[in-house]
Structure 1
Amino acid sequence: MALIAVGVVLLIRQPALLPNWRAILWSPSGAAVLFTRIAVGWLMLFVHEMAHLVTARAAGVPGRVAFGTRLQFLAVQTDVSGIWLAPRRVRLTVYLSGIAVDIALCAACVILSVLTGPHPAYSIALLTGMSMLATQACVFMRTDLYFVLQDLTGCRNMYGDVVTYVRYGLARLMGRRRPGPIVHVSRRERRWLAVYGVVLVGGTIACLAVFATITLPVTVALVVGAVRTLISPGGPSGTVDAVVVLTLLATTQFLWLRAWWRRHGRRLRRRGAAVVSA
């Protein structure tokens, strides 16, 4: 808390310490920019997940870190399901520990910028931490704040219940018969589920729209540029840069597909077997 407080005070007194997005483009080499962002991002993700794991272990709850997917994002998730049996104070500590570490790392970058002068590493880490904190607000993707919200509202399975309602509504609109929605929730839970349902549907649509209009075009542009460089090489440095860009992008997509298949593959195989047997 002291570290965070010092960082906040310094930012208030010197707003120029807050870098803009151009700080990410610290090098003319696209490979260097991508590699730096990926390296810093994964390092901070590792520290974030270790915070969950360590606080859960301190409470006597085992945990497991693994890759997962949240819509189009590749994510690292820590499974600490056993923490649900712990007191609320312990549960909230585990849920919020990663966010607390993210804020502390951002504060440390601000303090280091003041003590040693500005550096691209501090700017990239600070912007990465801020983007990670912003992502936590996307509770429709079951982020850490989602579990905090679920705990404070007293809902047992907020995401699953809302998905059940949405699928039921879509099935009725399409004229399909489907079992009725869940009825075991209280009136208080229903109110919170209605609010979360709006957030879930709206947030998912907005997130996929950003992917279609920003992320996908940028990725396609990087791939096309790298392929053109390989086809008409302008020199060894350009060729190496293009190979690194394609390798980094392909690795990220492979990890996403692998995590997505691990989560949804069994269900898809069952549906495929049902279609074949029919």
Structure 2
Amino acid sequence: MKTGAYSKLTLHSLHIRKDKKNYIVEDLSSGEFYEMPKICIDAIEMINEGKMLSEIEAVLTSGYPDEEVDMTDFAGQLFALGLVKSVDGEEVPRTEKKRGEPEGFNWISPRVGKFFFNSFMTRGYIGAMILCVVIFLVRPELWPRYQDIFPFDLMMYNIVAVLLVTFLLVLVHEMGHVLAVRSEGLPTRIELGHRLVFVVLETDMSRVWSLPPEKRNRLYLAGLYFDAVMLLAALAAKLVFSDDEVIMGIAGVVVLNTVIRIIYQFCIYMKTDFYYVLENKTGCYNLMENGQSFLKNTLSFLPGEPYTEAFSGEEKLVRPYAVFYLLGVIITLVLAAAYSVPQLAFAGSYIYTGLSHHPGTLLFWDALIFLLQFILVFGLLFYSWSKKYRLNQ
């Protein structure tokens, strides 16, 4: 449907709220959110007043002399977002988008969420983080080693222990997000996803955009808060039950798993919890995309489009982010060299040696079960990748 200078648009119901730098526009029918600068909000307000596009363009050209105003182009963007209801009284066909409100945890009362997330508890979580750092400084031998993922002699025992501990820790992390989101009375759900080659559970945080910026960080950091509590409990177990091999082994898996996951949260080349905190603090909600584009433009050997910031003034944020982006990649490589590569080398050696034994031996079946566990993990990873590909398509 074409629009002209004398066209009048009618938009679907929108909720507009001032954010740190720009405005957040919510499509009330679909629950989707869009970031827009002040000039776009002024245009939307005049559209809702029934003004023609030419009238709006004249007003905005006068009010924003440094901006290039093209209301026909802006109308096209509104069409692309599915926000236009009619043009000159003619209804615009719309593929109805269901409001993206997950409902999996509405049974959790906001009061329960507020019990875990209030000013007093937040101080406690931060205290737990500080105490963990102090313990590592005083007792550096408690810092995790790559061997900690193999607490028992038989791999079938290690598989059960690591899978159960990992699932429990990931679930605790995500429940931190869930309880924080529910403390604000918002709906959410937990989904299967991935970061790089890691299969992860992810809490739907889409409704967080309905909150003001100052309330979002607690929801983003909630998983890290719960991680700190679990890490402190595991370190305490290693200190108190130093003579119990089973407890020491399980606690070692918890410490290794939690420390690595916390470090990865600061690798902001991925959209980790800390990345969203950084976005929220700066008010620049496309840091990763702009940072990647900036790096591709700066490092000419990388493929990609030249860098263009989404909003003026963001270049002073994108450049330092690009530096920390590269630092996160380096941290990932260091962690891989210190933990993942030795673990995979040990696992490969164990599988090769075990499968070399007679099929009637325990070592053969132990190695075979260990191999099947790797196949299962990579199968889940493939499922997550294919799911993301289908959604992008």
Query: TM-score under structure 2 normalisation?
Result: 0.58
Partners of 2:222 and 2:355 lie apart in 1 by: 45
From the superposition, tell whether residues 183 and 19 of structure 1 become closer, same or farther in structure 2 (CA, over 3 Å). closer
Q: How far apart are 1:5 and its partner, in Å? A: 7.7
1:88 aligns with 2:213: yes
Change (3 A) 1:71 1:209: farther
CA distance in structure 2 between the aligned counterparts of 1:34 and 1:206, rounded to whole angstroms:
27
Alignment CA distance shift 1:165-1:264 (3 Å): farther
For the pair 1:186 / 2:315, whether they are aligned, the reply is no
Once residues 159 and 354 of structure 2 are traced to their aligned partners in structure 1, the CA distance between those partners, rounded to angstroms, is 17
Q: Deviations over 1:143-176 (max 9, x none)?
A: 1111111111121211122233345567x65899
- In 1, Cα distance between the equivalents of 2:216 and 2:193? 21
Query: Distance between the aligned counterparts of 2:128 and 2:331, measured in 1?
Result: 31
- The equivalences for 1:1-278 within 5 A come to 1=124, 4=128, 7-8=131-132, 11=135, 15=139, 18=142, 20-21=144-145, 22-117=147-242, 119-120=247-248, 121-167=250-296, 181-187=307-313, 189-204=314-329, 207=332, 215=340, 218-219=343-344, 222-223=347-348, 225-227=350-352, 229-233=354-358, 235-265=360-390
Is the Cα contact below 8 Å between 1:226 and 1:245 reproduced in 2?
yes
SS for the counterpart of 2:190 is strand
Distance in structure 1 (CA, Å) of the matches to 2:132 and 2:334: 33
Amino acid aligned to 2:162? R
User: SS in structure 1 opposite 2:151?
Assistant: coil
Deviates more, 1:48-57 or 1:4-13: 4-13
Aligned equivalents of 1:210, 1:258: Cα separation in 2: 25
Stretch deviating more after TM superposition (146-155 or 215-224): 215-224
8 Å contact from structure 2 (residues 294, 319) kept in 1: no
Paired letter, 1:84: W
Q: How many residues align?
A: 264
CA shift digits 1:34-89 (9 cap, x unpaired) = 43223212210111011101211221222222222222222222121110221233
The answer (yes or no) to whether the contact 2:144–2:255 under 8 Å persists in 1 is: no
Secondary structure of 2:192's partner? Answer: strand
Contact 1:7–1:111 (Cα < 8 Å) also in 2: no
- The 3 A distance-change label for structure 1 pair 260 and 181 is same
Q: How far, CA to CA, are the matches of 2:212 and 2:274 in structure 1?
A: 18
- Is the contact made by 2:190 and 2:201 (CA closer than 8 Å) also made in structure 1? yes
The one-letter amino acid of 1:90's match is K
Which of the pair has more CA radius of gyration?
2
Amino acid at match of 1:254: G
Q: 1:31·1:244 contact (CA, 8 Å) conserved in 2?
A: yes
CA distance in 2, matches of 1:169, 1:263: 28
Distance 1:100 1:214, change over 3 A: closer
Which structure shows the higher helix fraction?
1
Q: What SS is found at the alignment partner of 1:68?
A: strand
One-letter identity of the residue aligned with 2:128: I
Q: Structure 1: which 5+ runs fail to align?
A: 271-278
Distance 1:69 1:245 in 2: 22
Q: CA deviation at 1:99?
A: 0.5
Q: What SS class does the counterpart of residue 139 from structure 1 fall into?
A: coil
